Structure 1
Amino acid sequence: MRLHKKGSTLQMIAIGWLLLVASVGLLAPWLPLPFPPDSVDLNNIAQSPFLPPSDVKPSRHWLGTDGYGRDVLTALVYGARTALLVSLPAAFAATVLGTFLGSTAGFWGNSGFHIPIVYWLITSLLFLGAVGLASDFPPLWWTLLLGLVAVTVISKPLMRIPMLRLSWPLPIDRLVLGAASLLASVPRLVLILALAAVQDSSLIGLFLLLTFTYWPEPAHLVRAELLRVRALPYIESARAIGLSGGQILWRHALPNAWRTVRTAFPLSLSDLIGLETTLSFLGVGLPSGMPSWGRTLAAARLDPTAWWLIIFPALALAGTTLALRQLTANRITA
């Protein structure tokens, strides 16, 4: 009973902290902050927190300033907004993509999803056409384009040919696991740094990087759950009454994996907030001048004695990630 009460108390604290961070981030432009995020107070450079105003330094910086005279409280508030704008959408998109790929891989495996030969032909022409366009070889490109149009137009008549009605299995499980293993072969931080080095810093670019490098984690969880669900008796009953594989997956199998998805999302968000903070600490990904917890931490390198530049953003980051993991732990033990 005491353990249950303690867990409920921790969960309420976690929910309260997350609501506070979300509210502060959403309402940041309208909060009565004493300084805007891009302001520089040259009269109060590297000022300690909790100092009362004086005639010499009349400005009040509640949590101090960094080495450029920027207000730390404002940086923390807008850092929460940055986490909402980047990490939250990326976690949602990575969870959706991972759920789609993991569910199809776990449900159909390597031999459960068949594609008619005519569609394999169309896909092959699309691939060869893309190669021809990339190699800047117009004659080959236009030839393949015309061939693709012709095959697409006459695909239905071609389906009447018995040989083209034959189908080959698409090894979805092997493709998904191979892509996930390829991404896992390189440390995520190194991979993102390498990809970010060849593109301009932007919110959309960082969102895409985080999404397409993090989807394997929810995909593995959902795939494992679908491997269990597809062996249940009611799935066999659904096949016996003639439901298609897509209907069984989306209407009957995937809803039973919803608990796994709900558990994976807070964990994904926690990891991506930490990753976004690390990237901004290294000066990668975010547009210049955009406040974040990582950039506030990085400002401590100018003045190692400015402890407030480490303590306050570290507390905000640790509180948020621990609160998200507390929600995950409660759902696992529930």
Structure 2
Amino acid sequence: MKRLRVDARLLWGTAILVVLIVCALLAPAVGALMGNANPTDIGDVLATRLVRPLGTDGSGKLHWLGTDAFGRDVLARLWLGARISLGVGVVGSSLAGALGIALGMMAAWRGGATDRVILAISDALLAIPRLVLLLVVATLWGPGLVTVVVILALTGWMSVARLVRADVLGVRALPYVEAAEALGVPTRKLLLGHVLPNALGSARVAITLGIGNAMLLESGLSFLGLGVQPPTASWGNMISGGRDWLLIAPWIALSPGLALILTVVACTLIGDALTLRVDARAQSSRPAAAT
């Protein structure tokens, strides 16, 4: 029953993400398939603005999720925004994970002053709320897509580094690793061939969960005007653009908000499933290690 529950979480989370990714990839064709105008083309504002979901504008075009205050189709912008938000989440979390894996392995393997310096930097960054770091750096560097990705990578590696460091220390103490070191196996071959594959379980979970967190942070920055800038669509600036119309046209902000929640839930489901699998493998390997 436990395995079925884990598989169900992984299945549902993966299915949601796959659907969102496919829709994001097909975003440029959404407008043409639905018979809608270019989602970034304001057009005749008076004829197309604030159309309700499943309503038609002055030219008779159907808008499944309505239009915004500038007459732009919300569904088409939603999928265009998915490309930005999902891309920022995946790339930002992956870069942070790669940096964390490298620093975590370096700290665990070299030890000494290297370990102390990396841990001290990690502690200092973890002591400051990540959103505050993002706001400060974004203000200094200026808003933009590349800025958001770089900031997410530079402020998200600490947890991954600590997890990898702990796993590498555990793997390094195993007999076969000690034997390989004694036989003079090159460090690079030992790390990449034996240590790293066995120390990535927790890192995979952290990177997966980090995707949802990165998307939330990107949306927060875009909402505040420090992230992706209009007219480029992202879920954060779509929510920001719809906040003034919540009472009159709530669908403008609700659509990207619900999409963001759904994506974060999907990442959480996948992360929970991977966590249970990593824990199960760790428990099953303890008796073997003990013998």
- The bucket for the TM-score relative to the shorter chain is 0.7 to 0.9
Structure 1 counterpart of 2:243, one-letter code: R
CA offset digits 1:135-162 (Å, max 9, x no partner): xxxxxxxxxxxxxxxxxxxxxxxxxxxx
* CA shift for structure 1 position 49: 1.1
Structure 2 counterpart of 1:16, one-letter code: A
Rg bigger for which structure? 1
Whole-angstrom CA distance in 2 between matches of 1:310 and 1:203? 21
Please list every run of at least 4 consecutive aligned residues from structure 1 whose deviation after the TM superposition is greater than 3 angstroms.
Answer: 3-7, 244-247
* CA shift for structure 1 position 244: 4.0
Which of 155, 179, 182 aligns to 1:213? It is 155
Whole-angstrom CA distance in 2 between matches of 1:199 and 1:95? 23
Which of 89, 92, 95 aligns to 1:93? It is 95
Whole-angstrom CA distance in 2 between matches of 1:240 and 1:273? 45
- Label 1:57 to 1:36 Cα distance change in 2 as closer, same or farther (>3 A): closer
Which of 244, 252, 271 aligns to 1:309? It is 252
Task: State the number of aligned residues.
Answer: 271
Segments of structure 1 that go 5 or more residues without pairing to the other structure are 111-170
SS in 1 for 2:266: helix
Q: Is the 8 A contact 1:281 1:294 kept in 2?
A: yes
Query: Which residue in 2 is equivalent to 1:27?
Result: 26
| Identity fraction in percent | 34
- Label 1:65 to 1:30 Cα distance change in 2 as closer, same or farther (>3 A): closer
Task: Compare 242-251 and 78-87 and name the one that shifted more.
Answer: 242-251
* CA shift for structure 1 position 47: 2.5
Query: Which residue in 1 is equivalent to 2:41?
Result: 39
Whole-angstrom CA distance in 1 between matches of 2:118 and 2:144? 28
Q: Is the 8 A contact 1:101 1:176 kept in 2?
A: yes
Query: Which residue in 2 is equivalent to 1:152?
Result: none
Structure 1 counterpart of 2:184, one-letter code: G
Q: Is the 8 A contact 1:91 1:269 kept in 2?
A: yes
Q: Is the 8 A contact 1:35 1:74 kept in 2?
A: no
Whole-angstrom CA distance in 2 between matches of 1:44 and 1:83? 26
Which of 153, 160, 177 aligns to 1:235? It is 177
Which of 185, 189, 200 aligns to 1:258? It is 200
Q: Is the 8 A contact 2:66 2:74 kept in 1?
A: yes
* CA shift for structure 1 position 6: 4.2
* CA shift for structure 1 position 57: 6.2
Query: Which residue in 2 is equivalent to 1:224?
Result: 166
Whole-angstrom CA distance in 2 between matches of 1:315 and 1:288? 20
Query: Which residue in 2 is equivalent to 1:280?
Result: 222
Query: Which residue in 1 is equivalent to 2:286?
Result: none
Whole-angstrom CA distance in 1 between matches of 2:270 and 2:10? 6
Query: Which residue in 2 is equivalent to 1:185?
Result: 127
Structure 2 counterpart of 1:229, one-letter code: V
Structure 1 counterpart of 2:19, one-letter code: L
TM-score w.r.t. length of structure 1: 0.75
Whole-angstrom CA distance in 2 between matches of 1:325 and 1:47? 34
Whole-angstrom CA distance in 2 between matches of 1:309 and 1:226? 47
Whole-angstrom CA distance in 2 between matches of 1:258 and 1:191? 27
